[in-house]
A and B are shown apart, each in its own frame.
Chain A
Amino acid sequence: MQNETPAAAGTIRTGPAASGRYPAGGLAFPHRDLTGIGQLARHEILYLLDEAEQWVAHNRQPHGAQPLTQPHRRADLLRGLTIINAFFENSTRTLLSFEIAGKRLGADVVNMHAAQSSVKKGETLIDTAMTLNAMRADAIVIRHASSGAVRLIADKVDCPVLNAGDGQHEHPTQGLLDALTIRHAAAEQWGWSSAGGDLNGLKVTICGDLLHSRVARSNILCLTALGADVTVCAPPALMPEGIEAMGVAPTYDFDAALKGAQVVMMLRLQQERMQGQFIPSPREYRHLYGLTVDRLARCEPQALVMHPGPMNRGVEIDSQVADHATRSLITRQVEMGVAVRMACLDVLTRRSRNVAGWGDVP
Chain B
Amino acid sequence: MTPRPLTITGGKLVLPEGEPRAGAIRCEDGRIVAVGDVTPHDGDEVIDARGLLVAPGLVDLGVFAIDKPAFHFGGITRAALMPDQGPPLDHPARVRFAAQSGKPDLWVHPLAAATQRLEGVELAELALMRDAGARAVATGRRWIGDSGVMLRLLRYCAMLGLTVVSHAEDAGLAGHAVATAGEMATRMGLPSAPAEAEQLAVARDIALAELAGAALHFRQVTTTGSIALVRAAKARGARITAGVTPAHFMLSDLELADFRTFARMSPPLRSEADRQAVIAGIADGSIDVIASGHDPRGPEDKRLPFADAEPGMAGAETLLPLTLTLVRDGHISMARAFALIAGNPAALLGVEAGRLAVGAEADIALIDPVRPWIVNSDKMAASAGNTPFDRRPVEGRVTKLFKGGARVG
Contact = CB atoms under 8 A, between A and B. Distances in A.
B311 to A, nearest CB: 14
6 contacts: A122-B300, A122-B304, A123-B303, A146-B306, A147-B307, A241-B181
B175 A151 contact: no
Interface string B318-346: 00000000000000000000000000000
A167 B186 contact: no
A170 B189 contact: yes
- Residue of A146, A214, A245, A276 ringed by the most chain B CB atoms within 10 A: A146
Contacts of B187: 38, 217, 245-246
A146 B308 contact: yes
Interface residues of A, number: 27
Given A125-B304, A240-B181, A275-B176, 13 more contacts: A122-B300, A122-B305, A123-B304, A146-B304, A147-B190, A147-B305, A169-B189, A241-B192, A242-B182, A242-B184, A242-B186, A243-B186, A245-B186
B284 interface: no
A242 B190 CA distance: 13
Given A242-B181, A242-B182, A275-B175, A144 B305 contact: yes
7 cross-chain pairs, A with B, having the tightest CB-CB distances, nearest first: A122-B304, A148-B259, A146-B305, A168-B189, A169-B189, A242-B183, A240-B186
Contact of A167 (B175, B182, B305, B309): B305
Contacts of A144: 305
A57 interface: no
B186 A246 contact: yes
B37 interface: no
Nearest to A153: B305
Contacts of A246: 183, 186-187
Contacts of A275: 175-176
A149 interface: yes
Given A152-B259, A242-B181, A146 B307 contact: yes
A48 to B, nearest CB: 21
A245 B188 CA distance: 13
Contacts of B303: 122-123, 126, 152
B398 interface: no
A147 B186 contact: no
A122 B307 contact: no
B186 A123 contact: no
A93 to B, nearest CB: 20
A3 B185 CA distance: 38
B252 to A, nearest CB: 14
B258 interface: yes
A148 B306 contact: yes
Interface in A164-207: 166-170
A243 B299 CA distance: 32
A123 B259 contact: no
Interface in B167-206: 175-176, 181-192, 194
Contacts of A167: 189, 305, 307
A325 B305 CA distance: 42
Interface string B223-258: 000000000000000000000000000000000001
A258 B188 CA distance: 27
Interface in A128-177: 144, 146-149, 151-152, 166-170
Given A241-B181, A241-B194, A122 B186 contact: no
Contacts of B185: 240-242
Contacts of B182: 241-242
Interface of B: 175-176, 181-192, 194, 258-259, 299-300, 303-309
A246 B181 CA distance: 14
Contacts of B309: 122
Contact of A149 (B175, B191, B300, B305): B305
A247 B188 CA distance: 15
A123 B190 contact: no
Given A146-B307, A167-B307, A241-B194, A151 B186 contact: no
B258 A151 contact: yes
A126 B194 CA distance: 31
B76 to A, nearest CB: 30
Contacts of B186: 240-243, 245-246
Contacts of A149: 305
B49 to A, nearest CB: 46
Contact of B304 (A152, A170, A241, A243): A152
Given A122-B303, A151-B258, A152-B259, A217 B189 contact: yes
Interface string A286-310: 0000000000000000000000000
Contacts of A125: 304-305
Contacts of A38: 187
A149 B309 CA distance: 11
B307 to A, nearest CB: 5
Contacts of A242: 181-186
Contact of A169 (B181, B188, B194): B188
A243 B191 CA distance: 14
A123 B176 contact: no
A75 B189 CA distance: 37
B176 A148 contact: no
A322 to B, nearest CB: 26
Nearest to A151: B259
Contacts of A245: 183, 186-187
A214 B175 CA distance: 20
A102 B188 CA distance: 28
B337 to A, nearest CB: 35
Interface string A213-255: 0100100000000000000000000001111011000000000
A214 B307 CA distance: 15
